[in-house]
Amino acid sequence: MKDDQIVILGKNADAYANNQTSDSFDWKLIRDARFAQLVAAAEREACANFLQELEAMLDAVGAGGDSTDEATVLPDGSAFAVYSYPLPKDHWLYASREYEQGAEEPKELAAPILTHAAREQVVSAIRYAVRAATDCGKETNFDPDALVQNAVYALCGPFNKNQPQPQADARDAERLDWLIEQGCYHGVVYEGLDKSFWMVWLDGHDAHKDEHQIGRHHTAREAIDAAIASAKENK
C-alpha cells in the first residue's frame, strides 16, 4: 500500500470518527478501529484483484499454468485459486542419464535392496503410488515428486511407525534406585546440543556432586553409570 493511499484511508477514518454524535465516545479509539477496518478491506480487495490479474495473464500469454477453477472470492472479500505450473527446467525428471564407462545401467539406478521374493508387495506399492499421485488415473498432470513420496510411504510406512523402541536394560532398576536415593528432584540427565549426555545436579553448591558432571556420554544410561561410579570412588 502506497503512502497516498494510507493518507486517504486515514482521512476517511477521521471523518468517520468526527461524524459520531455521542458525547461519551472515545474519538481516537473509534478512529483507530475504523482505520484498521479500512486497511483490511483494502488488502482483501488487492489480493482478489491480484488473483484475477494472474489468471487473466496466464490465459493471455499461455504461460503453461493450468487453473483447476477460477479464483473464488469469499464473503469477506478475500480470495483463493489453485494453479498447476510446469516443473522447473532443472527438475530431476529432466536430467540426462549418466553411465559409467561400459555400464549398461545408469548411475541413478542403485543396487537392489530387495529380492523377487517381495515382488508382489513391491508391485502393489508402486501401483498405490501411481494411483495416489494421479487420483486413480483421472489426473494426467500429476506431480512426480508426489509419486515418489507415495512410493516411499507404501514401501516404508509412516516415518515413525517402525522405528526401534528403546529396550529395557538389566541394570535399569539399579540405576533408578540410585537416582531415587540421591533425590530425583536434585539431579537430571541432560542431553546437550551435540547429542551427548551427562548428569546435571540442581543443587550445584555440592562440590562432591559437581564432579559427576565431568565427561560426556553417548547415552543417558552411560551418564548415570558414570555418576554412580564417581560417587563410589569418592566415598
Whether 70 and 104 share a structural domain: no
Q: Which three cell numbers stand for residue 228?
A: 554412580
Whether 78 and 126 share a structural domain: no
Using the 3D structure, point to which of 156, 182, 211 is the last residue of a domain: 156
As a whole number of angstroms, the distance between CA 95 and CA 99 comes to 13
| Residue 224 in domain | yes
Using the 3D structure, point to which of 107, 123, 156 is the last residue of a domain: 156
Using the 3D structure, point to which of 63, 84, 105 is the last residue of a domain: 84
User: From the CA atom positions of the chain, what is the Rg in Å?
Assistant: 33
| Residue 167 in domain | no
Q: Which three cell numbers stand for residue 88?
A: 522447473
| Band of residue 128 on the pLDDT scale cut at 50, 70, 90 | very high
155-180 average pLDDT score: 73
| Residue 177 in domain | yes
Whether 77 and 96 share a structural domain: no
Domain residue limits at 138: 92-156
Question: In this structure, what are the phi and psi dihedrals at residue 115, rounded to the nearest 5 degrees?
Answer: -115, 175
User: Whole-model pTM?
Assistant: 0.41
181-191 average pLDDT score: 58
